Structure 1
């Protein structure tokens, strides 16, 4: 009867191994790689460290969605910063002026924006600063600089509130972001 006993032992072991293999396939741990799986792995964005794509263009994940976004500061003054949100397959969406996303408050002539990894955690942060007053004797409250740690949700790109004395725009060095980031490879 040794053969009968081995069948009774083998049957539960086979059932358990089939169950474990099925669970592993469901979890993606094992199994044949399909064309869909290969395509999905190529289009799934991998978080990357911010890097330079030119003297005035920074590429990094600003909104925390795992796709790199393109941030430009053509005048290197912070007053014309634009963002292009990362889209599928490594492309970028339309260009948005960050100041339009943030808005200006009464009494503010403009808003400057500086985007960088201020906390050295690999995640881009943003500082919004009002520039001057549109009227010298305006009694309207003016925002002080506003620090927003990243990752930034797009819903958070709304005008900040608060009052204080505005400072000058936080100007970028003449060499742009080169001092802070490596070129994109």
Structure 2
């Protein structure tokens, strides 16, 4: 009899512990939640590294036009390139027609000018807000068929953010308190 009471007591304690753990635990990760978290950390939520939004924050049109002597791209060209590809992919994701494109990737950098800097930044912000909403609203079947493209887009954004920060450091207009020293 004492064994039964002891066993029931342990079972209740284990069950109570289990309930407490379930209440404290987060919802299990899904493909959508992972892609969305990855998207946010590459766009505007700083965690392990500086996201795009932070990388282009507070930079003037003149600063965005500056190029290192090694003839690489400017911050503005990189931001325009990100705008071009993120917008193109979002339109495809949403079933919209793609803008005309010759297939020459160099053209995706060239459309930036100092005069268009503010518009480029605003358009990029809008496209990225639209992407976040699109990922969040997509059903599992769409996420399953698009996960590779979304993951590659996120990686592409992070890659070019690294270039943006490197260029800003070379130009002397990056505040290291925002992240990268």
What is the TM-score of this pair, normalised by structure 2? 0.30
| Greater strand fraction, Structure 1 or Structure 2 | 1
| Greater helix fraction, Structure 1 or Structure 2 | 2
What is the TM-score of this pair, normalised by structure 1? 0.29
